[in-house]
Amino acid sequence: MNTLDLNHHISKRFNKDLEDLRNSVLAMGGLVETQLAKAIDAVVSGNSELGLRVAHDDYKVNSFEVSIDEECSRILATRGPTASDLRLIIAIVKTITDLERIGDEAEKIGFLASKLANMDRPAGSYSELRTMGNLVRAMLKASMDAFARLDGSAALEVVKDDEEVDRNYEMIQRQCITFMMEDPRTIQRVMNVTWAARSLERIGDHAKNIGEYVIYMVHGKDVRHTAVEDVDLDLIGR
């Protein structure tokens, strides 16, 4: 099952480079996970300060992306990796792009949180965003875990979970439309909620992408733009 083995190189140095690279991708993932958690927390608890802090801290995610990117090009240039090593590097380059985008979306949610904190709070105090947020957080966590464990089947679960997030997004949208029709004075606030939900939905998509890169990395199969059911059959057939 585990076709990737990072300890097979004669050059110890190369092994260590790859291991460190993987480690820093996961550290970046950890940072993004925390950013997302804080952003959701800021929206739900109406904590304007926390939201702004999340927005401010996005530079950390960006600098992670830049340094990992540099390291990847260095390895590509000096080691000329092949086969599974090459797949690993390619998957990492793509993964950090998605992680960086997730960071951007978290930044947006942080801004929205600080805006929403200064407006009237509805009775439910954004519990629908919390539910969707937790779903997305779990997805992101599962995708990073799958990346750490090189676990293709866990990655596939992440890909499947995206449908649930999409359904949630649709539900929130419909709810928001109802609110706006009932009372046009809430439009400004509800628009912000829609934006936050939209960001969460995008994060779900990015987490799904990471899941797909993990499958590519482990099995060497590109499962993008494939119906989930077909992917299933492919994996079982192996």
- Residues in contact with another protein by CB under 8 A are 19-20, 22-24, 26-31, 33-34, 37, 49, 53, 56, 59-60, 63-64, 67-68, 70-71, 134, 137, 141, 144-145, 148-149, 151
Residue 98 or 190 having the CB closest to another protein: 98
Helices (H), 118-151: 127-149
Residue type, 99: L
- Whole-number Å distance between alpha carbons of 64 and 45: 29
Minimum CB distance to another protein, residue 87 (Å): 18
Q: Where are the alpha helices (DSSP H) in 57-186?
A: 58-79, 83-117, 127-149, 152-182
Nearest-approach distance from CB 182 to another protein, in angstroms: 31
Q: Which CB sits closer to another protein, 18 or 176?
A: 18
Dihedral angle of Cα 79, 9, 146, 202, to the nearest 10 degrees: 0
The residue ranges of DSSP E strands in the chain, in sequence order, are: none
The nearer residue to another protein, 70 or 183, going by C-beta atoms, is: 70
Distance CA 33, CA 1 (A): 28
Helices 58-79, 48-56: axis angle to 10 degrees equals 20
> Toward another protein, which CB reaches closer, 61 or 190?
61
In the complex, the smallest distance separating the C-beta of residue 2 from another protein, rounded to whole angstroms, is: 9
Instruction: Compare residues 56 and 185 and give the one whose CB is closer to another protein.
Output: 56
Distance in Å, CB of 64 to another protein, minimum: 6
